[in-house]
Structure 1
Amino acid sequence: MAVDHYENFPVASILLPAPLRPAVRNLYAFARGADDLADEGDAEPATRQAALESWRSAIQDLGAHRTVRTPLSAPDRTLFEQLGQTIADHQLPIQPFLDLLSAFLQDLSVSCYDNEPALMDYCSRSANPVGRLMLHLFGATSAQDMDQSDAICTGLQRVNFCQDVALDQAKGRCYIPLDCLARHEVTLPALADLCRSRPRQAPAAWQAVLREQIMQARRLLLNGSPLAWRLPGRIGWELRLVIHGGLRILEMLEAGGYNPYADRPILTRRDGLLLCWRAFCRPRPQPATALPHHHEP
């Protein structure tokens, strides 16, 4: 099963304990469904907003331990019935679901981010809640666990932003901070032209932009990585594969000349073998030192 920002990274796989797989599927079905309401199809923004608002009301009903009163389609009602059972069975907090919906609602009105703090705030609601819910399923809810999970989830989303520059441009969005573009003298119209023309070699200015973004994503993944070696059993192995999957995509972006609009990297079966070797045989990655902002790496 694959979900948007995590399309290269397996979830609910055979590495996860069988009793938890239905819960994981329900969580990701919610995240995927809400993301599709914000992004897929040709519905008007007002229609998308109304649909997401109805989902928020349904989640609030579940949080108040009452039957969902919001009118929903039959498939959506089934989804929320299953999700409600998962929330009750595992005593999951409601706030992460609300945070996800707030990010998807934000996608309807915000198309770009001025700076790193603004982008990180978005990631804290669009990516981190999924990791926090997963930790609740496994009973790993210390402050350190949560902080490192946040770093991994935001790191994975930043990988996706690097990988999907052209796809995001096609939706009228840019998840590269505008101040980063400005530092390297890349304008939004110039970036849009690159995504349309897909030149075989990326301009030097754009390479500098993506190099900086890749280093930010790698730093986050490495700083969150101790969690994957601390969590026991299958969830630890699964998380190691996820982290190495993100790092592999960054390697491919670098090897491809920082040119994701011409050659978007994806993980293949051969990469899967490499990731297994790295997750099971290679020494654990070391946390990265903080990167200085506003300087060329």
Structure 2
Amino acid sequence: MALLRETVPLRPALYSPPMAVDHYENFPVASLLLPRRLRAPVRNIYRYARSADDIADEGTALPGQRLEQLAQYRRALQHIADGSLHLDQTGAIRQVFEPLEQTIRQHSLPMAPFFDLLSAFEQDVTTTRYACDAALFDYCRRSANPVGRLMLHLYGKATADNLALSDAICTGLQLTNFWQDVAVDWQKDRIYLPQDKLKRHELGEDFIAEQTRQGLLADSKPARDSGTSRVLLNGGWQALMHGQVAQARELLLSGLPLTRRLGGRTGLELKLVVHGGLRILERLDQLHYDIFFQRPTLAKSDWVLLLWRALA
């Protein structure tokens, strides 16, 4: 899942950074601002999400084996929901679900976000293409938005308006991660760009495959200048990615009022997260959307800019 992969889901990611403290490179500063009282609960939620994500995405297991392991997670979640969790076995399941149950009970967390996350992990096993925006946004609703919703519940700020703003931020961050990682995902046989938009811009999977191949070839050259970028001359790609970046930016900006509603360290943390995502989108624009040649990331110097923007 993009928010929880080693790049924030996301797959966690959110907000993603407190969830993916060790795995979401765009926004690591967020973990420093997490209140001490919430560190253990967030760690327990993260353990659940990360371990399920690994089942779906990592290793060499066959799809059927992955789905069976995730089915064990679903049964354990249902037992928590029913108030009947009894774990006799030792190992990973026990290590994940005993502390998770304590966190859910202590903080009166809703079960729906946990089931939504699991549904998205199951989808990661079976789905590698998305027909349209509606299908992609439904995936984001289950893979990214639950994390922000759980954080709001932990903070005691889960009003309807706040949840809607959080959803916009989490989906915007998820999309940012997708467009940042088009080439990375292609190597995993995943394409998050909606198929109808690819067709509309007369782009096929062969275009992504060839551009990824060229990017990998450039990476292998010792004399490569990592500070430069070629310009993709394909007008269809430029138009497609311009629209995708604009869509993600609009979502992030529309959710920004949540930072003022939360205020304090929490609001500052979230503001840094949002501006981190916006900065990646700026980089995409600057690279002319040629993520095949140079994957946009945040440099150390960017954090000064992000802090300035967050405090402005």
- The TM-score normalised by the length of structure 1 is 0.89
Q: Which residue of 1 aligns with 2:231?
A: 201
CA apart distance, 1:58: 1.0
Decide whether aligned partners of structure 1 residues 218 and 47 sit closer, same or farther in structure 2, where only a CA change above 3 A counts.
same
Deviations 1:163-192 (A, max 9, x none): 010111111111011111112111122222
Separation of aligned partners in 2, 1:69 and 1:11: 36
Cα RMSD of the aligned pairs, angstroms, is 1.7
CA apart distance, 1:151: 0.3
Residues matched between the structures, number: 279
Name the SS for the 1:258 alignment partner: coil
Name the SS for the 2:28 alignment partner: coil
Deviations 1:48-100 (A, max 9, x none): 111111111111111122224485x6133112111111111101011100001
Separation of aligned partners in 2, 1:106 and 1:70: 29
Consecutive unaligned residues of structure 2, counting only runs of 5 or more, are 14-23, 219-229
Separation of aligned partners in 2, 1:41 and 1:268: 30
Q: Which residue of 1 aligns with 2:307?
A: 276
Separation of aligned partners in 1, 2:30 and 2:269: 9
Alignment pair present for 1:222 and 2:245: no
CA apart distance, 1:122: 0.8
Is the Cα–Cα contact under 8 Å of residues 3 and 28 in structure 1 kept in the other structure?
A: no
Task: Give the letter for the 1:50 counterpart.
Answer: E
Alignment pair present for 1:9 and 2:40: no
Decide whether aligned partners of structure 1 residues 238 and 85 sit closer, same or farther in structure 2, where only a CA change above 3 A counts.
same
Q: Which residue of 2 aligns with 1:46?
A: 64
Separation of aligned partners in 2, 1:76 and 1:12: 28
Is the Cα–Cα contact under 8 Å of residues 164 and 260 in structure 1 kept in the other structure?
A: yes
* Aligned residue among 113, 119, 127 for 1:102: 119
Separation of aligned partners in 1, 2:257 and 2:30: 21
Separation of aligned partners in 1, 2:194 and 2:293: 21
Separation of aligned partners in 2, 1:52 and 1:215: 35
Consecutive unaligned residues of structure 1, counting only runs of 5 or more, are 282-297
Q: Which residue of 2 aligns with 1:152?
A: 169
Decide whether aligned partners of structure 1 residues 226 and 113 sit closer, same or farther in structure 2, where only a CA change above 3 A counts.
same
Is the Cα–Cα contact under 8 Å of residues 11 and 24 in structure 1 kept in the other structure?
A: no
Q: Which residue of 2 aligns with 1:20?
A: 38
Task: Give the letter for the 2:78 counterpart.
Answer: Q
Is the Cα–Cα contact under 8 Å of residues 54 and 70 in structure 1 kept in the other structure?
A: no
Task: Give the letter for the 2:231 counterpart.
Answer: Q
Task: Give the letter for the 1:244 counterpart.
Answer: H
Separation of aligned partners in 2, 1:140 and 1:234: 14
Q: Which residue of 2 aligns with 1:294?
A: none
Q: Which residue of 1 aligns with 2:21?
A: none
Decide whether aligned partners of structure 1 residues 94 and 70 sit closer, same or farther in structure 2, where only a CA change above 3 A counts.
farther
Is the Cα–Cα contact under 8 Å of residues 61 and 69 in structure 1 kept in the other structure?
A: no
Separation of aligned partners in 1, 2:171 and 2:100: 24
Alignment pair present for 1:161 and 2:199: no
Alignment pair present for 1:93 and 2:110: yes
The 5 Å alignment of 1:58-207 reads: 58-69=76-87, 74-198=91-215, 200-202=230-232, 203-207=234-238
Is the Cα–Cα contact under 8 Å of residues 140 and 171 in structure 2 kept in the other structure?
A: yes
Is the Cα–Cα contact under 8 Å of residues 114 and 178 in structure 1 kept in the other structure?
A: yes
Is the Cα–Cα contact under 8 Å of residues 201 and 236 in structure 2 kept in the other structure?
A: yes
Separation of aligned partners in 1, 2:275 and 2:88: 41
Task: Give the letter for the 1:179 counterpart.
Answer: D
- The TM-score normalised by the length of structure 2 is 0.85
